Amino acid sequence: MTRTVGTRRRAAHPQNSGVPAAGLGTSVESMPETAQERTRRAVLRLSHLGLDLTAYRTRLDAVLRAAVGWDLAAWSTTDPATLLFTSCVLVGRDEDHALEQRLFDLEFGEPDVNTFAALFADGTVAAGLHESTGGDLARSPRWRGLLAGVGVSDELRAVFTDRGECWGTLVAYRLGGPPFTTADAQLLATLAPVIGDGLRRCLLSAAADAPPGLPEPPGVLVIDAAGAITGRSAAAERWLAEMDGPDALPSAVRSVAAMARAAGAGTDGATPAQGRLPRRGGGWLLLHASLLGGDAGQVAVVIEPARQTHLADVLVRAYALTGRERQVTELVLQGRSNAQIARALGIGVHTVGDHLKSVMSKLAVSSRTDLVAELFGRHYLPARLSGSLPSPYGWYLPPA
């Protein structure tokens, strides 16, 4: 189910951020279907150009700002095991660490409307604050405590998932003018799977270039226009051996390479270039293809083993969490209730409560919000501020 914002048609939005007025004045509701499809093709193409994480988010913002209209936006990556932020690109104003810290305190310190954990937990993809509060923004602690003071008139949030895991978020703000519309949120909801795939594609590319340290790191193949392998990383050799052998190129690899060329060219009907095939040792290999350097003839195919993301081992060791306590903690951070956690893990609600009490005791906290704030403030925020690169498996890449 996708919850979206109200349907009131909006007038041209004032130019507050230096973005051309034509972009900010365009209501999604008035866009012809072909314009919405052009936006989707533009996003799909960006997701397959082999951009780095910062460039991808910055160019993505330009495309969607022209289609929807906002003044400020923050594009974050998240650890899918915890939904905590691992990196951020802010567009529309200079970074202000004091304001950012206040926003984090509000986001993680008390219940609010449209928290990212709540959106993800109930299956909402995009939602506007004006619509979610019935037009009474003062119902939101973060609006009362921060956003109203910096002139925000509405906020639009979205979560971006790939294969059921959240890899990033968007929060966009308007400074004056009418609120975001239902169609604005619906456009983001339509594009969310492509954006989630694009974010993880960028993370995988960074991981493939990272120094040794990741268990079973992703590998990269370079495929030319004729379908031949012209380059391969050491890790790719291992994954090729788990397919049909190092000298063969399975049809799945050719297929995702062809899909990447179609997506990069903006071909009608193109979809994200993903695929999977069984590995000889058991389990599955996942394939992701992007254009190499914008050249439609050369495609980089990233190969990785399918794996489930979990609370980082470094955090489990830091707090001496048991395996079950780790599972309970992950689901709490994802916004699940005790009853939902019990159903997911096949245990009793009282048992969940006992595990949660043990976790809180080990972390020296007394509430769920304190649990989130403790993990983010002590582990994720320092890594993020140090410039550490996020990993496609939840934590951060090994330092260079």
Per-residue pLDDT of the chain (400 residues; tens, 9 = 90+): 333 333 332 333 433 333 333 333 445 555 555 778 899 999 999 999 999 999 999 999 999 999 999 999 999 999 999 999 999 999 999 888 888 888 888 888 878 999 999 999 999 999 999 999 999 999 999 999 999 999 999 999 999 999 899 999 999 999 999 999 999 999 999 999 999 999 999 999 999 998 888 889 999 999 998 888 899 999 999 999 888 655 567 888 989 999 999 998 888 788 999 999 999 888 999 999 999 875 568 999 999 999 889 999 999 999 999 999 999 999 999 999 999 999 999 999 999 999 999 999 999 999 999 999 999 999 999 999 899 999 999 899 988 7
Instruction: Walk me through the domains of the chain, giving residue ranges and CATH numbers.
Output: 21-207 (3.30.450.40), 217-305 (3.30.450.20), 313-385 (1.10.10.10)
Q: What does the DSSP 8-state code read for residue 335?
A: T
> Which residues does residue 165 pair with via DSSP β-bridges, in sequence order?
162
* Tokens found for residue 181: 């519309």
- Residues 160 and 167: their CA atoms lie apart, in Å, by 6
Would you say 363 and 52 are in contact if contact means Cβ atoms under 8 Å apart?
no
How far from 178 is each of 9, 20, 84, 196, CA to CA, in Å? 9, 18, 30, 28
Would you say 251 and 269 are in contact if contact means Cβ atoms under 8 Å apart?
no
Q: What is the pLDDT of residue 266?
A: 80
* Tokens found for residue 352: 């969940």
Q: What is the pLDDT of residue 244?
A: 66
Q: What is the pLDDT of residue 126?
A: 98
* Tokens found for residue 229: 């392998």
